Structure 1
Amino acid sequence: MKKFYVASSFNNKDTVRRVSNELIDKGFMLTYDWTKNERASTLEDLQEIGQQEKKAVMEADFIIVLLPGGKGSHIEFGLALAQGKRIYLYSSNDEVNKFETTSTFYHLSEVEICIGSVNNLIHTVTNSQTLLN
């Protein structure tokens, strides 16, 4: 069973839950559901959540990053990239291909850019991970 983690902004938690639930229904295993957390209110909270999220990224076979993401999402992206994990970078629009708003790291071979609907993202991840088995 392939393990995954979904990184994004707290503002996208409904979409994170949808993607996670649909992949779980397809037989994948979520390493950590950060959407169950409340917003951190202390440095100790941040440290605990950071440890859990770091562990989840390390345990995942692949990660999904839903844009727009925050600082944490991009750090999780970097952790996954440093480990050579497959990263699915999702955007509902074409911002990842606009020179003014993109990042060099978005265009590395470990990253698969998914643009469009969430259904398209789930289809891409499911098909890609099935082919990698």
Structure 2
Amino acid sequence: MKKFYIASSFKNIEMVRFVSQQLIKRGFLHTYDWTQNERVSTFNDLKAIGIQEKSAVLESDFLIVILPAGKGSHIELGIALGQGKKIYLYSPDDEINHFETTSTFYHLPEVEKCIGTIEELIEKVCKINPFVE
């Protein structure tokens, strides 16, 4: 069973939940659902969530980053890159290919850029990672 983790920002919470539900329906395992967390107010809470998220990225077979995303998502991207994991970078538009706004890390070989609809992202992930029992 292929395991995945989704990195994004709270403003994309419904999209993250949708992608997660669609992949779970197709036999994938979500390593950690951060969308269930409440906003935190202490450093201890941040530490506890950071430990869970780091572990989930390390446990995953691949990472999906849904843009726009914040600093935490980009740290998760870095962890996944450092571990040699496959990464799907989703953007609804071509902004990730604009030289002024892109990141060098978006263009590494292990990063598969997905531009278009969220359904196209899901189909690409499922096509590249077919579920096999």
TM-score per shorter chain, which class?
over 0.9
1:120 matched to 2:101? The reply is: no
Q: What TM-score results when the alignment is normalised by the length of structure 1? A: 0.97
Q: What TM-score results when the alignment is normalised by the length of structure 2? A: 0.97
Higher RCO, 1 or 2 (CA under 8 Å, sep at least 6)? 2
Distance 1:41 1:91 in 2: 30
Distance 1:64 1:118 in 2: 11
Distance 1:54 1:123 in 2: 26
Runs of at least 4 residues of structure 1 off by over 6 A? none
CA apart distance, 1:64: 0.1
For residue 48 of structure 2, what is the amino acid of its counterpart? E
Distance 2:102 2:44 in 1: 33
Equivalent pairs counted in the alignment come to 131
Matched with 2:67 is 67
Match runs of 1:1-133 below 5 Å:
1-130=1-130
Superposed CA RMSD in Å reads 0.9
Distance 1:74 1:32 in 2: 17
Q: Percent identity?
A: 64
Which segments of 5 or more consecutive residues in structure 2 lack a partner in the other structure? none
Distance 2:117 2:37 in 1: 26
CA apart distance, 1:130: 2.1
CA apart distance, 1:40: 1.3
